[in-house]
Structure 1
Amino acid sequence: MHYVEVKYQPERSRACLGSPSLVKLDDGDLVATHDYWGIQTLTGDCGLSSVYRSEDDGVTWENVTHIISAQWGTLVKLPDALYHISATREYGDMVIRRSTDGGFTWSLPRDEKSGVLLRNESREGATKYRFECGGGTLVHDGYLYKSYDKYAYAPGQSPWEAGNFGTGMARIPLDKDPLDAGNWTFSNILTFDAAKLPDPKLSLGNKTGWLEGNPLPTPDGKIASIMRVHVAKPNVAAYLTLSDDGKVFSFDYETGLIDFIGGHSRFYVQQDAVTGLYVTFSNFITDEPVPTHRNLLSLAVSEDLRHWRRVKDVMRDESGLPPALSRQLTGFQYSSWQFDGDDIILLCRMGYRGSVNFHDANRITFHRFKGWRSWL
């Protein structure tokens, strides 16, 4: 398995790496970002993201700056500039920043006219909310679409349960200023109701839920979101639909759960302009008794967003660990990727060779899959 290491975090720092995001600029340069989290970080007080650039197609990388107050961020390239959408911290606001110099410097979101998109209404001693912006983006038919999640954490609850996530979609016309919150349309926040599942055996109680969606154009001209979902069955995703005005998110409990290649952890889906296929990299579950393992990353494709075919396993553990330990200690996860001519370039949050477990990643790595369409 060949990769270029963009960032390594020593385990003694007790900090982990997350939220990889990757774009290719019009001049051919690559820009990547990631954040930090863990016991010994300031995630809850002041998020931090790092920005890297490569001017040689990903062979080497340089850390050019950091973004203070940026957690769970994603990059998106629009016609006028490069943007980064994130939360400011764990229980902070949802913001957007602009870079007009390829990622070296970034605007500062001070108010709703300069990048603050949604204010956080958390209060001490009451329900806390956090915006997670790691879901996908889509530039399509004159609009930018951005998937995001709103997590509600009430006093006394577990700090992370999938049932506490609600998902939303934001969109803005491409001819409007993205830093002005008034130019955006925000959908309703939709939570998963496990009581509506047609098969009660799929329910995990309050651990049933969805997050980290992917806005996509459907074959019939609508906008859908393919989402990570937690149910009592592996290799499943959720298919949500967005109204034409961008205001109403909806889900059909009878038909909305689809068979998928993975689906239990974050994945990105994009449509290939050459073949018309929808493409994803995800963690296919091969061992159903362990439905959370991430030590296998697979390429999968679909013609209609509902029926998926596993094409090729592109990353697997080569450390020599026994299978049980590999599942525990190795993770190839949360991949952010782009089409690049005949290739695909990919940035991975990797827990590998020294991470305390598969989830608490110690590396951000860059990969190039050459001539991937020959695998189809």
Structure 2
Amino acid sequence: MTTHFGRILLAALAASTAIVCEGQQPSSTPRAKVPGIVIDHIPASTGVYIGSPSLAVLPNGDYVASHDHFGPKSTEHTRALSAVFRSADRGETWKKISQVDGAFWSSLFVHRGALYLLGPDRHHGNVLIRRSSDGGQTWTSPTGSTTGVLRDNGEYHCAPMPVIEHAGRLWRGIEWRHPPVAWGINYRAAMLSAPADADLLDAANWTLAEPLPSDRAWNGGDMGAWLEGNAVVAPGGELVDILRVQTKSPEEKAAIVRVSSDGKKMSFDPATGFVDFPGGAKKFAIRFDPQSKLYWSLSSIVHDRHRANNPGGIRNTLALVCSPDLARWTVRTILLYHPDVKKHGFQYVDWLFDGDDIIAACRTAYDDEEGGAHNFHDANYLTFHRVADFRRLTMADSVSPNRDGGRD
């Protein structure tokens, strides 16, 4: 496999340019290739869109990725579908291995040698968990409280957020919508946790922190929602939930909510709990790297040339960002870029450390032979990316927007 950053870091080029992406064949057409390696593609004409990428590495080294289906022709509001894919060659090629009925916004993770899938059964649904002992080909069936139905009172929201182990427990951010109307503002931040050695299919082993509402008066009155929270161990050793903040202002923020050590209480100080976060108005995943002693994320930042109100709707730039303390964030390099914001997006990235590299699955809205994505949000691709030697990257390695997305 080529490991030079210039071959692996893939720019989203304008339609007049052709690029050979690692793992793809050269195109004879004048349009651009989608950046990365295509895991799945669903044309916009189907009325079904690709959402909620998730990624895991099996004990044998194989990669597993998943995404759900949303859109007007999907079943997201009744019983959602998720597709699962596997790669035996470090992401170079992918094969669909299963389809899960009743899985939405769900996280793949490996624990004690088994693969799990955790999330709602539909848009604002119940919380289910499934286990696979064969790498994602077959899954347990959640039929009751001892077989994977963790919460059956509905109205849960999340994205495929990290599942982490800390202080002998597994932790995973989630939200509960109450009252059950509207998008966003009624989402209450919460945290699911369970003893690390427990039967994860048994609801009795899981604790749900009391969901914490937000307030429209926070952040100077610019508080549309908080959502898609990350379970993260802060520098002081305490567990926090770091959430996306929906704002109208171009100033993107994240909210840091404290979680009690027993996993039962959430607390937030609006005077100190908001931090500047590049890409904070879109979903992001945060992970800590013991080698660099930094927190890292792949976030859909807003490039200076696209700075505008409602930054949650600007997703055409993907960047590598990091922080020493969760409060001060720096853009290290720009990974993907396309000059169009209306029909191109690199978003909802799930990613993992892989030695000196980062591997990632991206919900990508991009050109195809049928006219491209419906819009930036309604993605038509699931793509895989490898960022080599990520700790060494600087802004000098960035994709350049000055040549329609090419690098200087």
Shared fold, TM over 0.5: yes
1:1-376 pair list within 5 angstroms? 1=10, 2=21, 3-120=36-153, 129-152=155-178, 154=180, 159-160=182-183, 162-195=184-217, 197=218, 199-200=220-221, 202-203=222-223, 208-233=224-249, 234-285=251-302, 286=304, 287-290=306-309, 291=311, 292-317=313-338, 323=339, 326-353=340-367, 354-375=372-393
Residue 245 of structure 1, CA deviation: 1.0
Return the alpha-carbon distance in structure 1 between the equivalents of residues 209 and 179 of structure 2. 21
Instruction: Describe the superposition over 1:259-278 as per-residue Cα deviations: whole angstroms up to 9, x where unpaired.
Output: 11110110000001211100
Instruction: Describe the superposition over 1:234-287 as per-residue Cα deviations: whole angstroms up to 9, x where unpaired.
Output: 321111110111111111100011011110110000001211100001111233
**Does the CA-based 8 Å contact 1:87-1:133 persist in structure 2?**
no
Aligned residue type for 2:185:
G
User: Which consecutive residues of structure 1, in runs of 5 or more, have no partner in the other structure?
Assistant: 122-128, 318-322
Residue 198 of structure 1, CA deviation: 6.0
**Does the CA-based 8 Å contact 1:261-1:284 persist in structure 2?**
yes
Return the alpha-carbon distance in structure 2 between the equivalents of residues 247 and 43 of structure 1. 30
Percent pairwise identity: 37
Return the alpha-carbon distance in structure 2 between the equivalents of residues 259 and 180 of structure 1. 38
Count, aligned residues: 352
The 3-state SS of whatever aligns with 2:342 is helix
Q: Which residue of 2 aligns with 1:124?
A: none
Residue 288 of structure 1, CA deviation: 3.1
Closer, same or farther: CA 91–300 of 1 in aligned 2, 3 Å: closer
Aligned residue type for 1:289:
A
Instruction: Describe the superposition over 1:131-159 as per-residue Cα deviations: whole angstroms up to 9, x where unpaired.
Output: 435333212232110111122465xx5x4
Instruction: Describe the superposition over 1:347-367 as per-residue Cα deviations: whole angstroms up to 9, x where unpaired.
Output: 000011100110000000000
Closer, same or farther: CA 198–90 of 1 in aligned 2, 3 Å: closer
| Deviant stretches of 4+, over 4 Å | none
Aligned residue type for 1:349:
R
**Does the CA-based 8 Å contact 2:192-2:207 persist in structure 1?**
yes
**Does the CA-based 8 Å contact 2:341-2:376 persist in structure 1?**
yes
User: Which consecutive residues of structure 2, in runs of 5 or more, have no partner in the other structure?
Assistant: 1-9, 11-20, 22-35, 395-408
TM-score (norm 1): 0.90
Return the alpha-carbon distance in structure 2 between the equivalents of residues 85 and 305 of structure 1. 25
Q: Which residue of 2 aligns with 1:320?
A: none
**Does the CA-based 8 Å contact 2:322-2:332 persist in structure 1?**
yes
Aligned residue type for 1:363:
Y
TM-score (norm 2): 0.83
Return the alpha-carbon distance in structure 2 between the equivalents of residues 133 and 336 of structure 1. 10
Return the alpha-carbon distance in structure 1 between the equivalents of residues 227 and 131 of structure 2. 25
Return the alpha-carbon distance in structure 2 between the equivalents of residues 6 and 86 of structure 1. 21
**Does the CA-based 8 Å contact 1:93-1:116 persist in structure 2?**
yes
**Does the CA-based 8 Å contact 2:245-2:252 persist in structure 1?**
no
Greater strand content: 1
